[in-house]
Structure 1
């Protein structure tokens, strides 16, 4: 049931009974009502599989009053998660079990996508296996594709909501076993987006997937573009909002449809092959003041190498998830409601999950000026200097060279080229 873009969430409460310590927990207080137990929040938000399932109890059930969940054939035992209401993220207690069970249609989609990945890998001569357990048995990859160089890509098809902590835990587990995770979503609000290397496809009927209809990567794959910020540029300035140009050199990542000129879309078959061969690689671009933790994306190996040289750093995939503003817990400091709220639709309204797959650029990087003369070795041009100058001068990199007089980089070769830059030419003509 939805109302004005929101949907109702059932079975939530702001209090719970801790059977281990024999105390009442108020989830709306920063210290949960027990300042002497600083580890309490970590303990109660642990995965149910990692703790006693009977650790947290419905307050109504504990007090001997009616527990609507138990009378409805469910459990009086609870787990803690974050709600979402009015931009706030309160802690709420929900009755077990409340895990998502895939519908027949979702299960068919999931299986069809997994089979298509494995079959595609086989056609390319790559080793592929479905339902691969990790060595420690803590998780299972939907499919693992192994490239000719031994690179292993663990495909995770996730067509329903999964908590960010689960995405992180399973991704870390994969990396620890030498597997690069590649998560597949069909929803722009999926929590896995930008939590790990990912790709988004269309929400296609399972039969279309089986029939091998085109399956385009709609999000998660980008291309690097470098340009000179001048009035003739088709792109906006990254440093100035609205009109204006700064004269600097910008570099940023764009989805294929927003590249200039527009690039061909990447299909899932392309990513199966390119990720396994290393032609396409994951990259993590930290936020540069946008308020986001950062962006995960798949890019060409050449683009990643150029980006790392431009920014003069190699940013590894984050070992721990950066906490985003959207994830910060909100404490309303209210009285505990001891009534069981299981099944009461109108009691708690939760905002719809926000869009995470955004087409906007990442914020990019700016080179303040064109490269200057190198007194120690004027003949050596680095890759980043070549890319920046090529964008600034509007010529392909192979037409670049050094002015015969001042050694400033210029358009030295090709049609309409010259031996001297404009400044030196003016000076020579004035002699």
Structure 2
């Protein structure tokens, strides 16, 4: 049975809990509709061919459920034709669902906002039921919909229709789930937490939202940019925004959405439109970017808004990083001899006396931060040549024991070379990929010039202490 009935021919909703069925403009509407339904029954017209359908839970789920009317003990009733449609109205709410509703109300009350669960709101001639409705600041209304893993593999249907109906009624829809496949949909603004039992959701520990809230990274599309150009060109020189996933505490999300500090946006990309939550400051900067992408939007003033650590214990343990793999104990990795020495980070007190770096063009460049000036370009070349020589030596060996020993030497040399490139690129604010390509090309060209002239290679001191000398770098036996 249901209290809301959809009349297909009249195209109106009938509320059986009201004497006038919710339409005071029509006189004796119940008598007219009930008499027509009884006439259909007397002529054996199938229920599915009549004019009445469920206008509540079944219609919201995208199901056409035929109904007929009756009067029992003086009470008006609308009855489903099929038993499975009737069961849809009596499906029990899970404990996890109830725990989320209670937590939303508690978090809102702690922020000074009021709310209620299972709120039914009139939208024109139809109805909308919200799991938990929060009355926020400045007349803001946040409608939280909890959709957990008990909904089935296909997921909830008509989410976009329900969200649109809520927006038309002045309710900001906020859908929360614990399923990754729901969170990846863009029919509404989804947020997701881990799949947790009801007693964990209900307690006062920190419940973290792992998906659905993002921070916008604003950057200029030039040679120093880390992100690829969204327009598909190499570098367009304009300003862009890239969303980056961020985690947030569920209680803070409830209070911030009610206060208007966190807002939903629709982010356009070249192929699709995404929906997620961002801070109000990021939303304003994004609107400024859409208005003029020739310059970066001004950064918001973050004074007094520093994040503080939470005093509550988390609801779940953080995932630990896997332990780094170690070399086999049968062949321990010996220290690589003859590798270029990469100086450690200098002490800040001695930064003023640091040696200027040598740029790829061969000129001396003074960096912005002396503490980052740890290597020179010549050291990068030397480190790369040492790694190349160690690799060539590995290719010439046939014994498994010797290859295992030489592989450790090569990995150590390559690791030092990569670390040096990273520090140099960071200190000089260069594109790391382009710098690495230039270092490799310069190192190999230097070895080629050395072989053709049969003279000592640049920075020969780097190689003379290696087993076999520089002869094995040219492919000859030691």
TM-score (norm 2): 0.42
- Highest Rg: 1 or 2? 2
TM-score (norm 1): 0.46
